[in-house]
Amino acid sequence: MRSLRVALVNMPFAGVERPSIQLGLLKAIADSRGHRADTFHLNLDFVAAMEPLIGNASLAGYDRLAESRSVSGDWIFSLAAFGDEAPDPQLGLTDYAYPEKAPESEEDRVNAEALLRLRNEIAPAYIESMAAAVDWSDYDVVGFTCTFQQNAASFALAQRIKAACPEVLTLFGGANFDGGMGVEWVRSMPFIDFAIGGEADESFPDLLDAIASGDDPSSIPGVVLRAGDRVLALSPSRQFEDLEGSPTPQYHEYFERLDRLGVLPRTMVALPFESARGCWWGERRHCTFCGLNGGTMAYRSKSPQRVLDEITELALDHRCLNVFAVDNIIDTGYYDTVLRELAARGRPFQLFYETKADLSRETLERLCAGGIDSFQPGIESLSSRVLMLMRKGTKAAWNVNMLRWSRYYGVNVSWNLIFGFPHERPADVREQEELLPKLVHLAAPDGTGRVWMERFSPLFEDSELFPARSMKPSSHYRCVYPDRVNLDEAAYFFDYELRDTLPDEEYEHLMKLVWRWQEIDSGEVWRMLVVEDLGSHLEIIDTRDPDNHRTWVLEGLEAEAHRAVMDTYRSINQLVGDLGRPAGVIEETLAKLVADDLVFRDGNLYLALALPKEPPPVRGRLEANPWEEVDWLRPGTRNERVAS
């Protein structure tokens, strides 16, 4: 069997602040099978290509397009990909490029003009430049990873490579090619030779081996291929089980290209690593709106030692202390293993993880001690009833408590408030409208809006439980793809109207409150609700309302009740045991604290809203240049370079 030369390509609009873990893993896997793989993070080149048009704002403009869940990024490359077949040559772009802004604003008119130039001039020139920058004929296989808005740019380059080098085999994979989506993309894009749906850890090297040896690859799990006028997908994708044996991703080419182009400083880069796949909560009860994982929901995680070894290896290899877990949800066993060990080493890394939202004060303190300085808990709502409709397995009081202690320990929280689920009631909306102004001293949501309809989610798949009045591929796709694409099969996002849902106007005030909260959270004046325990009494300072600063002094049972619900939420029955007072007396006392907006009542649960006035334990801070000596990163060595 001969050794193949393989090119692995990452196109816009993948985020540029992180190398592609897909490319990094597949390169390591191909190399381990005896093939020779090169990676090309060409998304970095497009940031550089945008600079003559929008100058220093090129990185921010690219990030905004990359983060959008619409198809504005694919629209920019539709002309380069489809030429005369490309639809929508002059559509008003602000509807989906900048949906949160008024289309008639002067800024949007400028943005629309820039976007048109990106589509008509910059993107085609960039594709031609990338086609000429590499001798693609040197490669046997050129593979593209496609998630969200990477299709059109990848299609544009792939067909130019195929036209110039017909002997080169083109291969596509990634989340956009899961299930029937991959079959349709291969059918409708004649320049695609192969696609892999699902996890490619085994099918990718098996496909390379089959190509190298001349064997028939059609029976390899997850492989879609073109056979004359037919598209074959004979064997469904298979879940990869040996996560422990997965290699460490290789990111050297990303950093070489980054240094050469200078589109962003290394200090902005985070190293992706993988410690788990699937979702342990989704295995138990699939959240209704979640389309992640497709057919690979089963949870698998690496051993704690393997995780520690891998992030240490990545940090040492690339001189980067910012590491980013791509896991859907953290293995809760890591709290007592990985994070405890990292705390013992002096928090050498800045970590990101996704978690469930039922985190206690103790757990948040442990996250902070272990180096997790930002995380994404699945909050989604501040109504316990709506959370139940979502199948989140959490309550509003749990979410609020997590927001409190994450702010106290200085851990950045990324979360969204979403709505529009079947069986929501106006009372669920009003309940959140009343709560939000009381939480402005905590981290605001990153965004808010009606729930997206995603392929593979229960809302999409279970038509009996969630009947729809209408369901069709998002209209934005028709602004990108020619009519020959069957979007019913290829689309991931859908426009929809489900039965028994509230109209948009029901949520208008809620959205305005979220936007106001975001303004407050990003403002220069910090809103505060803090409590100081002075033994004989509690003193609470409240500046949540800038026009009405208030101070409370709580004594007697009021102080006792507030202390009892300070660390976590408690029910009346629990408080009877804690305080040794009759339930009616406790309820009357708490009712006054709730009326003063000092305590949150969530059904039968009560929770204080204030944060302790005393600061948390001082955390270690890395010195400016920790790379003069790096042995302190190794297990078992004393971290002399951390200053308190």
Q: Is the dihedral of CA 545, 546, 547, 550 positive or negative?
A: positive
Confidence band for 91, pLDDT divided at 50, 70 and 90: low
CATH 3.30.300 fits 529-612, yes or no: no
| Residue reference for tokens 């320990």 | 409
pLDDT tens, 594-605? Answer: 999 999 999 999
* Dist CA 453 CA 472 (whole Å): 10
CB 559 within 8 A of CB 531: no
User: If residue 186 lies in a helix (H) or strand (E), which one and from where to where?
Assistant: helix 180-188
User: How much is the pLDDT for 65?
Assistant: 81
Which tokens is 597 given?
């907006």
For helices 43-54 and 58-67, angle between their N-to-C axes, nearest 10 degrees: 120
Query: Among residues 537, 506, 535, 526, which one has the least CA distance to residue 427?
Result: 506
User: How much is the pLDDT for 615?
Assistant: 82
Q: How many angstroms separate the Cα of 423 from the Cα of each of 380, 393, 397, 449?
A: 16, 17, 21, 17
User: How much is the pLDDT for 70?
Assistant: 67
For the cut 80, the answer to whether the pLDDT of residue 88 exceeds it is no
Confidence band for 633, pLDDT divided at 50, 70 and 90: very low
Which tokens is 373 given?
């300085």
* Dist CA 451 CA 471 (whole Å): 14
User: How much is the pLDDT for 470?
Assistant: 95
User: How much is the pLDDT for 98?
Assistant: 44
User: If residue 173 lies in a helix (H) or strand (E), which one and from where to where?
Assistant: strand 169-173
pLDDT top residue among 404 and 71: 404
> What does the buried/exposed string (b/e) look like for 600-629 if buried means 16 or more CB atoms within 10 Å of the residue's CB?
bbbeebbbbbbbeeeeeeebbebeeebeee
Confidence band for 134, pLDDT divided at 50, 70 and 90: very high
Largest CA distance in the chain: 84
If one counts every other C-beta atom within 10 angstroms of the C-beta of residue 503, the result is 8
pLDDT tens, 193-250? Answer: 999 999 999 999 999 999 999 999 999 999 999 988 899 999 999 999 999 999 999 9
| Residue reference for tokens 């740019």 | 153
User: How much is the pLDDT for 351?
Assistant: 96
Which amino acid is located at 43 in the chain? N
Region 571-587: mean pLDDT is 96
pLDDT top residue among 638 and 573: 573
User: How much is the pLDDT for 90?
Assistant: 55
Query: Among residues 277, 183, 286, 178, which one has the least CA distance to residue 237?
Result: 178
* Dist CA 444 CA 414 (whole Å): 9
* Dist CA 459 CA 404 (whole Å): 31
Using DSSP, state whether 169 is helix, strand or coil: strand
520 backbone φψ class: left, alpha, beta (φ>0; ψ -120 to 50): alpha
Of the listed ranges 163-172, 416-425, 473-482, 623-632, the least confidently predicted one is: 623-632
If one counts every other C-beta atom within 10 angstroms of the C-beta of residue 386, the result is 24
Region 618-641: mean pLDDT is 39
Task: State the pTM of this model.
Answer: 0.92
DSSP 143: E
Using DSSP, state whether 542 is helix, strand or coil: strand
- Assign 3-class secondary structure to 321-338: CEEEECCCCCCHHHHCCH
Using DSSP, state whether 248 is helix, strand or coil: coil
CB 135 within 8 A of CB 106: no
CB 618 within 8 A of CB 313: no
User: How much is the pLDDT for 89?
Assistant: 55
Do you know the residue count of the chain?
644
Of the listed ranges 358-367, 369-378, 614-623, the least confidently predicted one is: 614-623
Region 169-177: mean pLDDT is 97
pLDDT tens, 528-570? Answer: 999 999 999 999 999 999 899 999 999 999 999 999 999 999 9
* Dist CA 635 CA 344 (whole Å): 9
For the cut 50, the answer to whether the pLDDT of residue 638 exceeds it is no
Q: Which residues contact 226 (CB under 8 A, 6 or more apart)?
A: 186, 190, 192, 193, 194, 232
CB 271 within 8 A of CB 314: yes
- Report percent pLDDT > 90 for the chain: 82
Say if strands 453-454 and 493-498 run parallel, antiparallel, or are unpaired. antiparallel
Confidence band for 524, pLDDT divided at 50, 70 and 90: confident
Say if strands 36-41 and 5-10 run parallel, antiparallel, or are unpaired. parallel
Using DSSP, state whether 393 is helix, strand or coil: coil
The CATH code belonging to domain 270-522 is 3.80.30.20
Q: Which residues contact 592 (CB under 8 A, 6 or more apart)?
A: 558
Ranges of each domain in the chain = 5-243, 270-522, 529-612
What count of Cα atoms within 13 Å lies in the side-chain half-sphere of residue 500?
A: 9
